[in-house]
Amino acid sequence: MVQAYILIQTEVGKASTVAEMIRRMSGVLHAEDVTGPYDVIVRAEAETMDELGRMVVARVQHVEGITRTLTCPVVHL
């Protein structure tokens, strides 16, 4: 399994709605509203890095209200 944090910036006032929509997606472990430079932080998992990439591009980035995402894969050093 591959896991990643997905840092999301949203339109003003859309963070709660975006987090709620993403929380319902398969592969999403957590989706939380936060303060700071990002509005929502998601912890997600997938079988492969390619599948994770497809999740972000095909599903997460299509959620209305998202303006930018940054995907940070978890590494075990």
CATH number at residue 49: 3.30.70.920
Is 17 buried (19+), middle (13-18) or exposed (0-12) by CB count in 10 A? middle
How far is 73 from 44, CA to CA, in rounded Å? 9
- H helix and E strand count, the chain: 2, 4
In tens, the pLDDT along 5-61 reads: 999 999 999 999 999 999 999 999 999 999 999 999 999 999 999 999 999 999 999
So what's the pLDDT on residue 20?
97
Helix (H, G, I), strand (E, B) or coil at 5: strand
So what's the pLDDT on residue 59?
95
Helix (H, G, I), strand (E, B) or coil at 38: coil
Count of domains observed in the chain: 1
Q: Which residue segment(s) compose the domain that 25 sits in? A: 2-73
So what's the pLDDT on residue 16?
97
So what's the pLDDT on residue 28?
97
- pTM across the whole model: 0.94
